[in-house]
Amino acid sequence: MNKQLNPLNPISYGGFNWWEVGGKTCLAAYQAKGASSQSDAISNLANPGTYDLSLILGTVGWSQSLGFLFTNSGAYTTGLNASSVGTVIVSVLCDISAIHQSVLGANDTTSGKLMRIRYDNNTNLYLYNGGTSNYNTPRPADIDGVWCMAEEKMYLDGSYIGASSGGLKADYPIYLGAYNYNNTSTFQAMNGSIAAVAFYVEELTPTDVTNLTANIQSI
């Protein structure tokens, strides 16, 4: 069972951390909102000393009240290969005035392997988690919230919204605030903020996603 945390401190109450899900392996968890500093925000809370975030493009801002601040010109690399991730969950605030922005992802166009969350300023929200066939939905009027991709299943604020066809994911590191294009360049940097994000080996169940979403919303 997940426990909610003091948002200003990643140390848990009762021995549980917000990213912990029973029976599931969290590869990396980053809490930017409420962190004591940006250097703490880029640290992997789930496995300290591994997969800390590092800049791959420009600069990324930070505030304790919002988390990482992206302005279409900066991005982090997680160091985590998309092929090793079954579930990703991220809390995001977006500026939808700019077209084609990616919250995170990695793309191998040669082999057609892809993981990405992308939105545009017109009508669409795209979620890809394997292959090139995405889940494409009319963009909600307000897309700020907690987005989750559990293999091919897609969730927004803990509610199931649809699925892609699934498939293989890129053997490239996942970028945060943009997406990794063929491991050669950074594409579609976002304008907005990310409060927290976590990556898991396994596919989380709907109950897992609901509980984890509540934890993240409490940050």
Q: What is the pLDDT of residues 13-35, one digit of tens each?
A: 345 899 999 999 999 999 999 99
> Which residues have a Cβ under 8 Å from the Cβ of 72 and sit 6 or more positions away?
98, 101, 189, 190, 191
* Burial class (CB within 10 angstroms; exposed 0-12, middle 13-18, buried 19+) of 122: exposed
> Which residues have a Cβ under 8 Å from the Cβ of 13 and sit 6 or more positions away?
3, 4, 5, 6
pLDDT value of residue 11: 40
Q: Where are the domains of the chain?
A: 26-217
pLDDT value of residue 145: 85
pLDDT value of residue 177: 93
> Which residues have a Cβ under 8 Å from the Cβ of 207 and sit 6 or more positions away?
none
Say which CATH topology domain 26-217 has.
Jelly Rolls (2.60.120)
Q: Categorize the per-residue pLDDT at 45 as very low, low, confident or very high, splitting at 50, 70 and 90.
A: very high
Residues above pLDDT 70, as percent of the chain: 77
Q: What is the pLDDT of residues 186-214, one digit of tens each?
A: 878 888 899 999 999 999 999 999 999 99
pLDDT value of residue 191: 87
Q: 190, 178 in Cβ contact below 8 A?
A: yes
Cα separation values, 210 from 2, 3, 216, 217, Å: 10, 12, 10, 11
Most confident of 40-49, 89-98, 169-178: 40-49
pTM value is 0.87
Q: What are phi and psi of 191, to 5 degrees?
A: -120, 110
